[in-house]
Amino acid sequence: MKVVVLHGSPRRDGNSDTLALHFLNGLSEGREDEVRHFYLNDMDIRPCQGCLRCETPPKHSCFIQDDMQEIYSAYMDADLIVWATPMYWGYMTAQMKAALDRMEALAWRGFENKTFAVFLTYRFHVESTVGFFQRIAPHFGIKLHIVTCRTMVDGKDVPITSLPDKLQEAYELGKRLGASGT
């Protein structure tokens, strides 16, 4: 299986990355997958300019030449897309949102019929990003799986490593999707 992991956190190996890693460990149990990681904070990704040049057939490509070109190519070849991001101010990080906005170029061809595994860590609110993925999934024929994890309890930040049930949930989802071939 070809897997693309989009890491939205500016902090590598944080809570959302750890959830994604547990998922990938479950996914790869007893098999080998081709996994490509994209750490969005380390990439040169300009914001969408809203020019709609991507609407132009036959290529439907974004005119901005930056690191998104590498993501486009990997995304189109992938069977499974992993979206891992913390929530800032009730929404995905700016890094993830910038990459997602630029996916508009794939909305005309190549975005559809994928499996998404979405891992969201949050302090207070997660509904906006969960709602976004739930709204687009039926339109694009996406098989959607979401794991959310609140990382603030009683006003204190909680490291994901102290929430073994959430790590196990991510692992089991990976194992299930790996066994089914997505």
Of 34 and 154, the one with more pLDDT = 34
> How many folded domains does the chain comprise?
1
Strands 156-157 and 152-153: antiparallel
CA dist., res. 33 & res. 2, Å (int):
6
Q: What is the mean pLDDT of the chain?
A: 95
> The domain that contains 110 carries what CATH number?
3.40.50.360
**Domain of 27?**
2-180
CA dist., res. 150 & res. 86, Å (int):
10
Of 29 and 142, the one with more pLDDT = 142
pLDDT tens for 25-83 read 999 988 889 999 999 999 999 999 999 999 888 888 899 999 999 999 999 999 999 99
- pLDDT at residue 23 in the model: 98
Statement: the pTM of the whole predicted model exceeds 0.75: yes
Identify the three-state secondary structure at position 30: coil
Q: What tokens does 181 get? A: 């071939």
